[in-house]
Amino acid sequence: MSARALPYRPHNHDACVSQALAEARSICQQQNARLTPTRERVLELIWQSHKPLGAYDVLAKLTSEGHSAAPPTVYRALDFLQQHGLVHRIASLNAFTGCAHTGEHHTGLFLICRTCGNVLELTDTGVSDAIHKAASAEAFRTEAITLEVAGICPACQAEQNHE
Amino acid sequence: MSARALPYRPHNHDACVSQALAEARSICQQQNARLTPTRERVLELIWQSHKPLGAYDVLAKLTSEGHSAAPPTVYRALDFLQQHGLVHRIASLNAFTGCAHTGEHHTGLFLICRTCGNVLELTDTGVSDAIHKAASAEAFRTEAITLEVAGICPACQAEQNHE
DNA sequence: AAAAAAGTGCAACATTATAACAGTTGCGAG
DNA sequence: CTCGCAACTGTTATAATGTTGCACTTTTTT
Ligand SMILES: [Zn+2]
Ligand SMILES: [Zn+2]
Ligand SMILES: [Zn+2]
Ligand SMILES: [Zn+2]
């Protein structure tokens, strides 16, 4: 089989972060949106790892940096980032994760490891076609899809087998 | 096209409720689980309509009936009902809906109308096969799937066109 | 009947998210 | 330039959702 996806193996995560920030700047410029320091910092914090971060986790990191912040600060930044497709909210975790497919106008499928907490975002036309087809069969007009798969990632499966 | 699914047309909803309760009794008996009065009443309240109900909505109805209840009462009943496959939690709404496919050991796909709030639960092997396939391709071991589709139901689409 | 297990009531608390309003900043029109 | 609007931010308070811990009761098992 081919190489594991990034979250499942050691990698230069700083590259993930700087690429995400670069794309964010580019996208905001295109869309005439202001990626203010707070927003950029929140995005960077979200990208600290491939584990989704709760709004209050972000808040704690901000305040620990001396940033005088309250919940609305964080939620407003997260709303902005979601609106511009830079982060996703994981409904089953009440947490946020950086978008791995910015600009692609995609329907994300999230693989959430319940052991290590890492999340891998996929896009899969087979899946989204099947969903649209099923919805259409009921004459339902689809607008948004929440698709979150919980389970065990390959790295954690290997861990388990070594025990 | 064939007849619309139940939530999308007038129907004898009392039949939905009594069938759901009958199945619940049968399933609990099979599984040696105790469908106590509180649990049964919560299930009945959840089935009051095809719109998901929040835990605190259930709580309000219980207390308005004179039942001395606190949040844990409701959450415990809901946990029990979920455990036995009698209700589902809709993560994107923080709300609960009666299971329309009890006993089938299924992966639900929920079509959620953002206008009327009704939810239709489907099972679709095409969809779940596609999801399992996508997860397997990443060597991910799937345990649970959250799949919620937001949009406009056929009934509400018709409404819009009449305006 | 005694012991164990499952269920319930209750109080307190934890977590997640929003409302309302005042102040500030960036930016274009005149 | 500077006035004025729109977007953004800070702050306080509050709403909505969910959990913990413990004492007590009911049911089941032995
Ligand atoms: Zn990375
Ligand atoms: Zn893992
Ligand atoms: Zn019905
Ligand atoms: Zn509708």
- Going along chain A from its start, the domains and CATH numbers come out as 13-162 (1.10.10.10)
For chain B, the average pLDDT equals: 94
Measured from Cα to the C1' atom, the residue closest to D16 is B56
- Residue of B147, B152, B153, B160 to mutate when probing chain A, most A C-beta within 10 A: B147
Distance B17 CA to ligand 4 centre (A): 20
Q: Does A1 score more than 90 pLDDT?
A: no
- pLDDT higher for A38 or B68? A38
- pLDDT higher for B23 or A106? B23
Distance CA A110, CA A146 (A): 9
The 10s digit of each residue's pLDDT in A136-154 is 999 999 999 999 999 999 9
- Burial class from Cβ neighbours inside 10 Å (0-12, 13-18, 19+) for residue B29 reads exposed
Q: Does B163 score more than 80 pLDDT?
A: no
The 10s digit of each residue's pLDDT in B49-58 is 999 999 999 9
DSSP assignment letter at B32: T
**Rounded average pLDDT over B57-70:** 94
pTM for this entry: 0.92
pLDDT reported for residue A97: 97
B95 near A CB under 8 A: no
**Rounded average pLDDT over A52-79:** 95
Task: Kindly state the percentage of chain B with pLDDT values over 70.
Answer: 98
Q: Does B12 score more than 70 pLDDT?
A: yes
Chain C positions with any atom < 7 A from a protein CB: 6-13, 15-20
B139 near A CB under 8 A: yes
- Residue of B129, B131, B132, B152 to mutate when probing chain A, most A C-beta within 10 A: B131
Q: Does B157 score more than 60 pLDDT?
A: yes
Pick from B163, B160, B132: nearest CA to B147? B132
Q: Does B1 score more than 70 pLDDT?
A: no
Q: How far is A34 from chain B (nearest CA, A)?
A: 28
Q: Does A61 score more than 80 pLDDT?
A: yes
Is B135 within 8 Å of A8 (Cβ atoms)? no
